[in-house]
Amino acid sequence: MLTKKTAVGIGIGALVIGLGSFFLVQSLLSNVNLVNDTVGAGKSDVFQFEAQQHFHEALNVTGSSFHVLLKTPSHGLQVDKDFQKRVSFDWVSLSDGEHFINITNTGNSTLHVTAKLEAVQNDMIFAQHIIVISSGILIIGFSAAFSIRKPRGF
């Protein structure tokens, strides 16, 4: 029979494992970042991310005047130009590598930047979720040990 502390510990451990697993699966499946930013006069907005070949990217900028510096890997899209009013970019990555986007507001009004950027997730995020899941397993293990033999003082 389970003691009260064991049941609570198993419940907490199961909750930690469940949440860790949910966020692990979510981070593995979702690699699309939706951007909806505003950039003040004289300010810049920078996006730097890793993307794989055949990832689809889209960028829209609206404002009075602005400068766009966009660099993609290999012989992909390369832009270093001033624009006015509105510009849209839609491209597919030609090879794996780093994408760099710098949008500088050169006008006197705010810019509106919207984008749909597919990026490779950071490996550290995966490790963090595995650590959370392992912690849940440890909590369940310690809690189960309390029902087998109660340590002195508990």
pLDDT at 139 over 70: yes
Burial of 72 (0-12, 13-18, 19+ CB in 10 A): buried
* Model pLDDT, residue 150: 63
> How would residue 79 be classed by pLDDT, with cut points 50, 70 and 90?
confident
Please report, for the chain, the start and end positions of each structural domain, with discontinuous segments joined by +: 7-31+124-147, 32-120
Tokens for 20, please give them: 């860790």
Fold of 32-120: Jelly Rolls (2.60.120)
Mean pLDDT of 113-130: 79
For the chain, give the mean pLDDT. 83
This model's pTM is above 0.85: no
From CA 35, how far away is CA 90, in angstroms rounded? 14
| Helix spans in 1-120 (H) | 4-29
SS3 2: coil
Q: Which residues neighbour 132 within 8 Å (Cβ) at sequence distance 6 or greater?
A: 16, 19, 20, 23
